[in-house]
Amino acid sequence: MSWKYIVILILAFFLVGILSMVYVAHRQTNEMIDDNYYDKELAYQGVIDAKKKYARFK
């Protein structure tokens, strides 16, 4: 096999890989799953703090 065909195959595989990543990224949504995500994060911060306090007593 000539080096020209190897270069063409490498570029073709690269192009197919890039196009497949673009396709997968385009199918995903960027919408928020929950409207009050900030309030839930603040509540979960309490869980994280409780785990840290508990870890000190182990």
pLDDT, one tens digit per residue, over 1-56 is 799 999 999 999 999 999 999 999 999 877 767 778 888 888 899 999 999 999 88
Looking at the structure of the chain, the number of domains it has is 1
Spatial CB neighbours of 40, under 8 Å, sequence gap ≥ 6: 34
Q: Identify the domain containing residue 43 by its residue range.
A: 3-56
Copy the structure tokens of residue 55.
């870890």
Rg (CA), the chain: 24
- The DSSP output letter for 26 is H
Which residue, 25, 23, 4, is CA-closest to 15?
23
pLDDT at 49: 93
